[in-house]
Structure 1
Amino acid sequence: MADTTLFPPEERDKLTLRLQNAVNGFVDGPRGAVEEVDHVLEDAIARLTDTLAERRRVLRSSWQTTPARTTPEGGTPPAAGMAPGGALATEGAPVAPEASATDTEQLRLALRDYRETAERLLRL
């Protein structure tokens, strides 16, 4: 996972500036300063929620939408538990190792990305 920030730098800088301005304005207008800090926090929470929801959407699409595999003849493979022609497959029927390895690798990468995102969130 290349992006390690939960806020883009320019957005983080804007929120930080708003926060500093509100704190600096406390002496002249305590209620207004607290209201502004409340709005800054509200905006930060909303942005964080949007960022995490988008990250989750990307993570889910990485493992939930796998391209349809085809048979060497160019057709679509039978449904799970079915042999070609619609008959039930026998227990222990071979599974294409390259397809299984690819699926497992996609799932391994998805698990790693989920873990990294959750760890970043827990370090907040």
Structure 2
Amino acid sequence: MADNVHTADNALFPPEERDKLTLRLQNAVNGFVDGPRGAVEEVDHVLEETIAHLTDTLAERRRVLRSSWQTTPARSAADGGIPAAGVAPGGALAAEGAPAEASATDTEQLRLALRDYRETAERLLRL
């Protein structure tokens, strides 16, 4: 994948999903006086959904990042598989310290992948 996986719209939550969860959270907090247990249960569900969405989003982000720099002939676009580390083109195990083949990954592709990994990690660390 020669294209850069970095996009301006790679938010951890799409705006409509974020707004929906925020509204549910606000409604639960506002309903605390009339139904404390129900409010806390609703906030618990909102947090659970938020964590699940975040986990799914980050797992997909990592899959896309890995596929941008790891390549093997055994992986097809249809199966979405991620090759094991240390597997060289042709399916052979790469020798430790062996130079990477220019046709498998190039320096620019790796630079873009590194930048995208760093940006994702930095965004998480700011949470």
Answering whether residue 65 of structure 2 is matched by residue 23 of structure 1, we say: no
| Alpha-carbon displacement from aligned partner over 1:7-37 (angstroms, at most 9, x marks no partner) | 0000000000100110010000000000100
Which structure 2 residue ranges, 5 or more long, are not aligned?
1-5, 74-88
Structure number with the bigger relative contact order (C-alpha 8 A, sep ≥ 6) is: 2
Answering whether residue 52 of structure 2 is matched by residue 49 of structure 1, we say: no
Given candidates 110, 114, 117, the residue that maps to 2:117 is 114
**Partner Cα distance (1:66, 1:52) in 2:** 23
Question: TM (normalized to structure 1)?
Answer: 0.71
Letter in 1 for 2:24: R
Question: TM (normalized to structure 2)?
Answer: 0.69
| Alpha-carbon displacement from aligned partner over 1:31-77 (angstroms, at most 9, x marks no partner) | 0000100000000000000000000000000000267xxxxxxxx99
**Partner Cα distance (1:15, 1:56) in 2:** 24
Shift of 1:5: 1.6
Which structure 1 residue ranges, 5 or more long, are not aligned?
68-75, 82-94
* Larger Cα-atom Rg: 1
Letter in 2 for 1:47: H
In the alignment, which residue of structure 2 is the partner of 1:84?
none
In the alignment, which residue of structure 2 is the partner of 1:60?
66
Give the secondary structure class of the aligned counterpart of 1:36.
helix
Matched-pair identity in %: 88
Structure 1 or 2: more helix by fraction: 1
| RMSD (Å) for aligned C-alpha atoms | 2.7
How many residues align structurally?
Answer: 101
Could you list the runs of 4 or more consecutive aligned residues of structure 1 that deviate by over 3 angstroms after TM superposition?
Answer: none
